[in-house]
Amino acid sequence: MSDARPAQVADAVCSRAGCRAAAQWRIDWRNPRIHAEDRRKTWVACDEHVGYLREFLAARDFPVSVAPLAPTEAAR
């Protein structure tokens, strides 16, 4: 079965240091001490590291949201 995802999504690599796995998730976050309310940063994650990266950010009290990585969002 072929992967029907656009190239940008298929080429997205997990943001976890040392991981080269394909990303399946997007993690949007901001550091409220230095980012304005409308400023967000995005990491992408594989299935194995999505929980680790979310917890890493949440432990620092950063607002975090996790969603599947969608084709229209991969070019960010």
5-36: per-residue pLDDT in tens?
A: 445 566 899 999 999 999 999 999 999 999 89
Instruction: Say what the pTM is.
Output: 0.78
Q: What is the pLDDT of residue 9?
A: 66
CA dihedral 65, 67, 71, 76 (to 10 degrees): 10
Domain boundaries, the chain: 7-73
Sign of CA dihedral 71, 45, 30, 65: positive
Q: Which among 40, 39, 46, 59 has a CA at the least distance from the CA of 19? A: 46
